[in-house]
């Protein structure tokens, strides 16, 4: 079974109530919030109503909240080769 991964990219402030109600029905509350829905014609119709505000991908399975968070987490910019504890034990051993 495949799922729609729907992410809210733009705010619905200032848009007609109909658009905000569709977002609520999809479960989108905050910008950059992500929800997963099973692929169905009714969900596809809701997405088409707010297509300017959301990003949609088709995925094989639902991701947990933690998996979505780890996907968005940036690379730290550095890599730790050896911890201080490991260095100390090496120096003491010599």
48-72: buried (b, 16+ CB within 10 Å) or exposed (e) per residue?
ebbeebbeeeeeeeeeeeeebeeee
What is the rounded radius of gyration, in angstroms, for the C-alpha atoms of the chain? 21
Q: What is the pTM of this model?
A: 0.76
Domains parsed from the chain with CATH numbers:
3-93 (3.30.1390.20)
At 40-88, the pLDDT tens digits run: 999 999 999 999 999 999 999 999 999 998 888 888 788 777 778 878 8
């Amino acid at each position: 079974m495949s799922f729609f991964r729907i992410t809210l990219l733009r705010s619905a402030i200032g848009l007609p109530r109909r658009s905000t109600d569709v977002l609520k029905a999809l479960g989108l509350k905050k910008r950059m919030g992500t929800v997963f829905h099973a692929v169905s014609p009714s969900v596809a119709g809701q997405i088409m109503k707010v297509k300017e505000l959301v990003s949609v991908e088709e995925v094989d399975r639902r991701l947990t909240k933690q998996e979505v968070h780890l996907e968005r987490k940036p690379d730290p910019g550095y890599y730790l080769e050896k911890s201080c504890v490991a260095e100390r034990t090496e120096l003491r051993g010599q």
